[in-house]
């Protein structure tokens, strides 16, 4: 059911459109926050899990060949603390990991119209312009994840681009038949490292952490649903973000 499009098509004169759009934006941001929590939980598990495993293994070796009672007792206490920490981390991961939303088919047209209806006014307030270029393919995508990703990228564009700039969005068919969203973002510098990781940059003082976080979270959402996201440098300081959802009808 393409309810995003029906919401966008409401007549403002009825006094409902603004409220519905705000409610939609709030729902999207809530889903985005859940995705961030899940991503952070996964990173914690990855970064801490291996060192803890090594510590436990070393402690076991010490206990297996002790030179005196003190070493054996220290090893036992290390294992005890590692086990306690591991259980706490597991509980934190379970607490932060949000359930996956039920998949929902939406037309690409509904997703694009919904995203632009939400962020074109924001761009105007910030002295920018969002422009849709070309025709939109007659296809469907998983609506929830596509709208979260697209609105997050448009939000990033409205914060990065200089006043007076235009950020262009196009939707085409990729070579494999999937839908391909491409957003040009003036002023965006492509990250030096990988965006499929939320690990802190090696030189945080020279990196735009907020941009990296948005791109990393979007990448995680896209990959979790079987899609792809990449950022490439374009001409005249305009980076391009290319987003391919998992499938298109």
pTM: 0.71
**Is 185:195 a contact under the CB 8 Å cutoff?**
no
Class (C level, CATH) for 105-244: alpha beta
Q: Is 139 exposed, middle or buried (0-12, 13-18, 19+ CB in 10 A)?
A: middle
Residues 132-144 have pLDDT tens digits of 999 999 999 998 8
> Regarding beta strands 105-107 and 140-142, do their DSSP bridges make them parallel or antiparallel, or are they unpaired?
antiparallel
Residues 158-189 have pLDDT tens digits of 889 999 999 999 999 988 888 999 999 999 98
Q: Where are the domains of the chain?
A: 33-96, 105-244
- pLDDT band of 36, cuts 50, 70, 90: confident
Q: Is the pLDDT of residue 193 over 60?
A: yes
Which pLDDT does position 249 carry in this prediction?
45
Comparing 132 with 123, the larger pLDDT belongs to 132
Residues 5-23 have pLDDT tens digits of 454 455 554 445 565 665 6
């Amino acid at each position: 059911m393409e309810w995003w499009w029906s919401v966008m098509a409401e007549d403002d004169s009825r006094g409902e459109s603004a409220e519905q759009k705000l409610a939609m934006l709030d729902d999207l941001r809530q889903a985005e926050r859940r995705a961030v929590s899940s991503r952070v939980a996964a990173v914690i598990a990855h970064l801490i899990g291996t060192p803890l495993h090594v510590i436990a293994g070393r402690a076991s070796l010490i206990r297996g060949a002790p030179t005196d009672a003190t070493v054996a007792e220290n090893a036992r206490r290390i294992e005890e603390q590692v086990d306690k920490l591991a259980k706490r981390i597991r509980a934190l991961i379970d607490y932060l990991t949000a359930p996956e939303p039920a998949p929902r088919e939406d037309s690409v047209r509904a997703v694009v119209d919904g995203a632009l209806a939400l962020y074109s006014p924001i761009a105007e307030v910030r002295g920018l312009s969002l422009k849709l270029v070309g025709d939109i393919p007659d296809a469907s995508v998983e609506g929830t994840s596509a709208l979260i990703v697209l609105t997050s990228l448009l939000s990033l564009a409205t914060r990065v681009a200089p006043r007076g700039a235009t950020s262009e969005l196009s939707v085409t068919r990729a070579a494999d038949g999937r839908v391909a969203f491409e957003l040009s973002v003036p002023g965006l510098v492509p990250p030096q490292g990988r965006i499929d990781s939320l690990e802190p940059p090696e030189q945080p003082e020279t990196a735009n952490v907020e941009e990296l976080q948005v791109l990393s979270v979007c990448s995680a959402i896209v990959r979790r649903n079987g899609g792809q996201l990449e950022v490439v440098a374009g001409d005249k300081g305009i980076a391009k973000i290319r987003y391919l959802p998992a499938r298109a009808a």
